[in-house]
Amino acid sequence: ATWKYAMGEGVDDPQGIYAVAFKNYIETHSDNKIKIYPVGSLGEETDLLEQTRAGLIQFLGQSTGYMGGTIPEMDLFTLPYVLPTDTKELDYFFKHSKAINKLLPPIFNKHGLELLAVFPEGEMAITTNKVFRSPKDLEGMKMRVMPGSPILVDTYKAFGASPVPMSWGDLIGALKTNMVDGEENPTVWIEAYDLDKLSKVLTYIGHSSFNACAVTNKQFYDKLSAKDKKLVKDASAHAEKVILKEAQKLDAYGLGRIVRTNPDYKIVTLTKEERKAFKERAKPVQEKFASKSASNKKLLDQMRIDLEEAEKNAK
Ligand code: 6CS
């Protein structure tokens, strides 16, 4: 059979690296074929999620920031100041997390999906036209956030800015016409899509990791033979290994290329002291997520336990 794999990124981007590794594994180990539909070719991200739930698409790679509107628990990956920025800790977390491996799969099943993997794409970086070092500096700045997650709007409001939810497809135009003043994305993506050319400053405040998710339609998966089910899980485990290895280097790749190609671009890393004000403001956002449902709270508690383990064991 030929299966459709859609995603919000191009084949050379992190979700593409996962998708290509997944496709290659499936095609080397079976007669099945995968056709990849990269960024934008089958619609906007929230449409792709619906199409996958409806079974029109078999596989989907998607940024977790788009999923909270459909699967509220996925806002877990969007919370400010919960995930670490250390790539080794993140690697350990994504490999061993009980929140991801035990608690999330049944939640996805309830939404007609089978979870394959969650992986990071690098530390979230913020691009703006002006330097900011405090929530006060962000006042009046219109910041684009991914649509579909209430947490992103809450976060940027808490940080002092005016959040504007918008799909990726509209962002470049909005930056060019100054409809928004800035946005957040991982460095590797900022470089690949020239977002540094549409801003003056890139700032790391250490609030988050940009994460992506791979899923398949549950009905489709349930109907597969035992052999094909195993094939899909093996392909996903293989692809996850490939992207996790790559993920540890993505920030450095992206940043290196920006520094080389855009020497006047300003790069700011907020100090521990400067981050305190943002961290303080992040707390009610975390609490709001946890108080929304028992399921949210259970996930966040488990994620914190998983992260303590990661901190202890990552080397
Ligand atoms: O900002 C966005 O919406 C896009 N950013 C990344 C890193 N991947 C795809 C996503 O749509």
Q: Ligand 1, atom 5: nearest CA belongs to which residue?
A: 185
Range of the domain at 11: 2-313
Cα distances (angstroms) measured from residue 212 to each of 16, 45, 185, 244: 11, 12, 12, 11
Decide: 16 in ligand 1 pocket, CB within 6 A: no
Q: Among 13, 18, 146, 196, name the best residue to mutate to test ligand 1's pocket (greatest count of ligand atoms within 8 A of Cβ).
A: 146
Give me ligand 1 centre to Cα 63, in Å: 6
266 falls in which pLDDT band (50, 70, 90)? very high
Average pLDDT over residues 85-94: 96
315 falls in which pLDDT band (50, 70, 90)? confident
CATH number for the domain that contains residue 160? 3.40.190.170
Residue 285 confidence (pLDDT) above 90:
yes
Give the total number of structural domains in the chain: 1
pLDDT of res. 40: 80
pLDDT digit string, tens, across residues 23-54: 999 999 999 999 999 998 899 999 999 999 99
Above 0.85 for ipTM, yes or no?
yes
Cα distances (angstroms) measured from residue 237 to each of 18, 118, 230, 233: 10, 11, 10, 6
The mean predicted confidence, pLDDT, of the chain is: 97
Ligand 1 atom, smallest distance to 9 CA: 9
Decide: 123 in ligand 1 pocket, CB within 6 A: no
